[in-house]
């Protein structure tokens, strides 16, 4: 089964991201706007066991402050446009802990906290869209107090298996 670990931001931020995703992200219908903490991974491990591990990790973290900084891009690697999130020590530590404790191997890419708003764009589309959105002032901060274990369905969409609160109960 294929799993991932994500943070779903507030409805306000999701609405902002979706206003662009519905036009520029072919994955719009597959998963709500999210910040990926651990990329999709295959494992034979039972979801209950993954939840157990996640609960133990989550107890070591307080709710996390997310500060959205600006619209950015992964070009020239990919034509992906995203809302950049400040990489705090706490966010980095959570990311690293998830990779060290949960099955699935090392990260494929360096950790760049973000919420995707456009991807799989042609070079011209990327240039036009990024040119327009790059001027967008994104000033948004929020506290998130939960992480989500998601799994991929046969149709490619993702569903939440478990929501885990950060911090001690």
- Helices 47-58, 89-101: crossing angle, 10 deg rounding: 150
Closest CA to 27 of 168, 160, 158: 158
Strand locations in 22-80 (E): 35-42, 64-73
Cis omega (within 30 of 0) for bond into 76:
yes
Active site residues: 34, 114
Going by the DSSP 8-state scheme, the letter that residue 106 receives in this structure is: S
């Amino acid at each position: 089964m294929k799993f991932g670990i994500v943070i779903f931001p507030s409805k306000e931020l999701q609405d902002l991201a979706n206003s662009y995703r519905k036009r520029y992200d072919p994955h719009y219908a597959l998963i709500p706007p999210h910040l990926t903490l651990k990329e999709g991974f295959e494992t034979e491990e039972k979801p209950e066991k993954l939840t157990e591990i996640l609960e133990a990790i989550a107890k070591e973290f307080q709710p996390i402050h997310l500060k959205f900084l600006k619209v950015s891009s992964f070009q020239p690697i990919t034509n992906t446009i995203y809302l950049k999130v400040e990489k705090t020590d706490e966010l980095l530590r959570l990311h690293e802990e998830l990779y060290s404790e949960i099955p699935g191997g090392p990260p494929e890419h360096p950790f760049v906290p973000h919420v995707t708003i456009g991807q799989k764009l042609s070079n011209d589309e990327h240039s036009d869209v990024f040119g327009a959105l790059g001027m967008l002032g994104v000033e948004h901060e929020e506290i998130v107090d939960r992480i989500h274990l998601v799994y991929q369905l046969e149709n490619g969409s993702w569903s939440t298996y478990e929501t885990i609160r950060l911090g001690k109960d």
